[in-house]
Structure 1
Amino acid sequence: MIVCHCTGITDRDIHAAIDWMRQADPETIITPGKIYRALGRSADCGGCLPLFLDTMRGNDNLEVPRNLRGLRRAATSEDANEGR
């Protein structure tokens, strides 16, 4: 299925890029921008982004590496007492 008509990216392209990136670096954070770059393309109008993200979320390899989970919460709770 074509996900991005502007650049011709399909759901298979997205899944292949995610799988390739996860295999190359198990600890990487995978973003839409990284997928576009891995496919040698760049975003155009952004109309595909909701479908692009849904397709990404459907890939089991998208998961955030265990050692990087909860970093936002940790930073937020550390910053909570600043300025008091």
Structure 2
Amino acid sequence: MIVCHCTQISDYDIKAAIDWMRAADPETIITPGKIYHALGKRADCGGCMPLFLDTMRGCDNLAVPPILRGLKANRTGVSHEGRRKGHRVSQRSATV
């Protein structure tokens, strides 16, 4: 089935690209942009994106790699991105 008429991408092409990317790097996060790039194409009008995403979600190899699962859960209580308190100039006390 043709998923993207502008670039002639089929559901088979999407599944094959996902399988190829997963085999090449088991820990990669697969996005629509990476699939287009792997197929040597670029998104055009974007009208296919809902069907494109549904086709991606239907693939068994799309899951987030186990090593990357739960990263946000491990950061509970951390909202400062690892920076120390008062990292902005406006938050520092002026010492004159």
Q: In angstroms, what is the RMSD of aligned CA positions?
A: 1.8
**Matches of 1:6 and 1:79, distance apart in 2:** 42
Letter in 2 for 1:34: K
Does residue 26 in structure 1 map to residue 57 in structure 2? no
**Pairing of 1:4-43 with structure 2 (within 5 A):** 4-43=4-43
Shift of 1:5: 0.4
The runs of 5 or more residues in structure 2 that have no matched partner are: 86-96
Q: Tell me the percent identity.
A: 73
Shift of 1:73: 4.0
SS of the equivalent of 2:72 reads: helix
Could you say which structure has the greater relative contact order, defined with CA pairs below 8 angstroms and 6 or more residues apart? 1
Please identify the structure whose Cα radius of gyration is greater: 2
Distance 1:77 1:53, change over 3 A: farther
TM-score by length of 2: 0.78
TM-score by length of 1: 0.88
**Matches of 2:73 and 2:54, distance apart in 1:** 24
The runs of 5 or more residues in structure 1 that have no matched partner are: none
Shift of 1:75: 4.5
**Matches of 2:77 and 2:43, distance apart in 1:** 35
Distance 1:59 1:77, change over 3 A: farther
Question: How many residue pairs were aligned?
Answer: 82
Letter in 1 for 2:8: G
